[in-house]
Structure 1
Amino acid sequence: MPLGTLDGDPPPFFRQGPSALSKLVFFSAFAILLMVADLRFQIAQPIRATFATMLYPLQWAVMRPLVWAQSGSQYFQTLNTSQNKEAAAQYKLGLQSQRALQVEQLTLENTRLRGLLDMRERIKTPALAAQVLYDAADPYTRKVIIDKGALAAVQAGAPVLDESGILGQVTRVYPLVSEVTLLTDRNQAIPVLNVRTGVRGLAFGESGARSGALELRFMDANVDMVAGDLLTTSGVDGVYPPGLPVARVLKIERRADSAFARIVCDPVARVAGSLHVLVLQPLTEQIHARPNDSPVPIAKSKGGKP
C-alpha cells in the first residue's frame, strides 16, 4: 500500500478510551461509593439474596459428595467406637460377675467356717482343721481326700465332721494327705442314738448307687420313731464322741411281712459339698489306761496272825 494513502491523524478519543490510570481511579471511587452506600443504605442486600438463592441448588449439588463422604466416615468411626465401648462394657460386666460370684462364694465359705469354729468350741475332743482337696477316683465309693496326713498327726479311724455334723471317718493315712470314707458309703456304719426317745441303732450307708442317704437297719417294726427325729452319735463304739449330730429320719416303711422297719435317714452334714472339716482324735486314744489298784494291806491281830 502506498504511504500516501495512510491516515496520519490519531484516532478519535472515544475510540481510544480512557487510560488505565483513569480506569483504576474511577472504579476505585465507584467501589468505595458502593461500599459506603451498602453500609449506610443496604442497597446490595437484595442483590446478594437473589444471587444466593440462584446459586443455592448448585452449591447443594456440589457439596453432596463431600457431605456423603463425611457422613460415611463418621458412621464407620461411630460404629467402631460403639463396638469398642460394647467390648469394654462386656469385659467389665464379666469382671463384675466374677467378683460377685467370688463374694458370694467367700460369704458362704465364711459362714461355714464360723459354723465349724462354733462346732469346735462345743466339743471337748482335740481337733485338727483340714480342707477337702478332691473326691476319690473310685466311682463306687463315697470317699474324699483331705490335705492333712501322718505328718499332721492324723490317725486312721479318726472321726471327721463339718459345721453341721459327722461327715465320715479317716480310713487311710498318707504322709501329706488322708482318705476319708463318708457316712453314705455302703461299707460304712455308725452307732446312733435317737435324741427324742433314747433308742439306739446302727446306721449304714445306703446300698444304692451314690444315693447320699443312710439306712437304719435291724429296728423293730413297732419302734418309736417318726420322721424328723434327730440321730446323734451314741459313743458306744469308742470312735465317735457322743452327742454329735449324724442324721435326721427321712421316712419309715413298716411292712406286715417283715419284723424290721426300713428307716431312711438324711445326713445333716454336707456329704457332697463340704470344703472345710475338723478331724477329731479317736475316742479310744483319749481313754488312758487306769493305774493298777494298790493292794490293800491285811490287818494283823495282836498275836501276829491275821
Structure 2
Amino acid sequence: MALATIDRTPPPFFRQGPSALTKLSICSMLALFLMVADTHLAITQPLRALVAAALYPAQRVLLVPVEAVRDGREYVEGLQRAVEGAEQARAELARQSERALRVEHLMQENARLRALLELRPSLEVRSQAAQVLYEAVDPYSRKVIIDRGSAHAITAGSPVINEAGVLGQVTRVYLQSAEVTLLTDRDAAIPVLNARTQLRGAAFGGASGRSGGLELRFMAGNADVQVGDVMTTSGVDGVYPPGLPVAKVAAIDRKQDAGFARITLTPAAASEGVRHVLVLEPLGLQLPPRPDVAPVPAPAGRAASRPGVAASRPGARR
C-alpha cells in the first residue's frame, strides 16, 4: 500500500449480491412484466380489490372533513340562490298582478265599447291540454302526434300552441290521438300580421330545410318590413285567434331585379323538445257560415271559357 493513500474499497465481509445497475435492470423488467401481465391477464385485480377494501374505512374517515366543507358551501350557495329566486318570483308576481289588473280593465273597457258600437262580443276560445307522444315517422315532414283525438272533441284544423306561440295545426284526427303539422313543415302555411305596421302576409314553412324555418312570401321589395318585426296571427282566417305570436323577422334580402323580397322568419315557438301543448278550438266553429257565392252567368251568344258550363245560345238544350 502506498503511503498517504486511503483504501476505500469495502472489506470482503460487506461485499454482497449484484451491483446496483443490475438490481435496477431486474426491477425495471419485473415492473414492466407485471404491468403487461396485469393489463392482459388482470392478475393483480384480486390484490387490488383486497387493498381497496382494507383502505376504504381510512379513505372514508379522511373524506369526512372534505365532504363537510363541500356540503356546507353547497348549502350556503343553494340558500342564497333560493333567496334570490324568491325575490325574483315576488317581483315577477307583482308585475303579473299589475298586468292582470290592466288586462281586466282593458277587457271591461273593450266590452263597454263593443256594447256602445253594437258590435258582437268577442269570441271565446276554448282549449284543452295535450301531450306530445312522438314525432311522425316521415323524415321529410315536421309532424308530431298528440294524445288527444276525436274522443276528446278534437277536430281537424284546430290550432296548437304552447307558452311561446303557435306551433302548428291539427291535420289528421284519430280516435285517441291526432296528427299535428308544425309551422316549419314544407307544406304548412299561416296568415300573419305585422304587429308594427299592421301589414298582412302569409308565412310558409320549410325555408331552412328540415331544421325548421319560415319564409314570408309575396311581399313587395319595398314593403315596410324590418328585421326584428313580430308576426302574429291576424284572426281573419277563421282558424287562429288574433294576436298569437308566430315568428320574428330574421333576415331580409331585397333584390333589385326581383319584384318580391325574400324574408326569412324565426318561429316564436321552438318545436324541438316540446312535451305539452294547448289545442284550441277553430274560430270557424263559432263564426256564422260563409254565404254561397252564386256563379256569374256567361254572356249571351258566347261560349263559356270554363269546361262544364253550357253555352247560352237561343234554343240550346241543357
Classify the TM-score, shorter chain: 0.5 to 0.7
Q: Secondary structure of the equivalent of 2:54?
A: helix
Instruction: After TM superposition, list the pairs within 5 Å mapping 1:252-267 onto structure 2.
Output: 252-267=252-267
Contact in 1 for aligned 2:238/2:287 (Cα 8 Å): no
**Which residue number in structure 2 is paired with residue 231 of structure 1?**
231
* Aligned counterparts of 1:247 and 1:85: Cα–Cα separation in 2: 58
Provide the aligned C-alpha RMSD in A. 3.5
Q: How many residues align?
A: 194
Q: Deviations over 1:3-58 (max 9, x none)?
A: xxxxxxxxxxxxxxxxxxxxxxxxxxxxxxxxxxxxxxxxxxxxxxxxxxxxxxxx
**Which residue number in structure 2 is paired with residue 272 of structure 1?**
272
5+ residue gaps, structure 1: 1-73, 87-106, 291-306
User: Is 2:133 the partner of 1:169?
Assistant: no
5+ residue gaps, structure 2: 1-49, 63-84, 108-122, 291-318
Equivalent position to 1:78, from 54, 78, 84 = 54
Alignment CA distance shift 1:76-1:189 (3 Å): closer
* Aligned counterparts of 2:269 and 2:130: Cα–Cα separation in 1: 15
Alignment CA distance shift 1:207-1:267 (3 Å): closer
Contact in 1 for aligned 2:208/2:214 (Cα 8 Å): no
Offset at residue 256 of structure 1 (A): 1.0
Q: Deviations over 1:96-145 (max 9, x none)?
A: xxxxxxxxxxx9xxx9xx99xx9xx9993000111111111111000011
User: Is 2:148 the partner of 1:148?
Assistant: yes
**Which residue number in structure 1 is paired with residue 188 of structure 2?**
188
**Which residue number in structure 2 is paired with residue 52 of structure 1?**
none
**Which residue number in structure 1 is paired with residue 110 of structure 2?**
none
Which structure would you say has the larger Rg? 1
* Aligned counterparts of 1:124 and 1:235: Cα–Cα separation in 2: 13
> Which protein, 1 or 2, shows the higher relative CO under an 8 Å CA cutoff with sep ≥ 6?
1
Runs of 4+ aligned residues of structure 1 deviating over 3 Å after TM superposition are 74-77, 80-86, 121-124
Query: Greater helix share, 1 or 2?
Result: 1
Identity %: 56
Alignment CA distance shift 1:247-1:77 (3 Å): closer
* Aligned counterparts of 1:194 and 1:266: Cα–Cα separation in 2: 14
Q: What one-letter code is carried by the residue in structure 2 that aligns with 1:287?
A: L
With normalisation by structure 1, the TM-score equals 0.56
* Aligned counterparts of 1:239 and 1:197: Cα–Cα separation in 2: 22
Offset at residue 77 of structure 1 (A): 5.1
Offset at residue 160 of structure 1 (A): 0.3
**Which residue number in structure 2 is paired with residue 211 of structure 1?**
211
Alignment CA distance shift 1:247-1:81 (3 Å): same
Alignment CA distance shift 1:155-1:85 (3 Å): farther
Q: What one-letter code is carried by the residue in structure 2 that aligns with 1:280?
A: L
Offset at residue 288 of structure 1 (A): 4.0
Q: Secondary structure of the equivalent of 1:78?
A: helix
Offset at residue 81 of structure 1 (A): 4.3
* Aligned counterparts of 2:52 and 2:161: Cα–Cα separation in 1: 63
**Which residue number in structure 2 is paired with residue 302 of structure 1?**
none
Q: Secondary structure of the equivalent of 2:241?
A: coil
Offset at residue 209 of structure 1 (A): 2.3
Contact in 1 for aligned 2:231/2:248 (Cα 8 Å): yes
* Aligned counterparts of 1:150 and 1:83: Cα–Cα separation in 2: 62
**Which residue number in structure 2 is paired with residue 249 of structure 1?**
249
Offset at residue 239 of structure 1 (A): 1.0
Contact in 1 for aligned 2:207/2:213 (Cα 8 Å): no
* Aligned counterparts of 1:129 and 1:227: Cα–Cα separation in 2: 33
* Aligned counterparts of 1:234 and 1:140: Cα–Cα separation in 2: 29
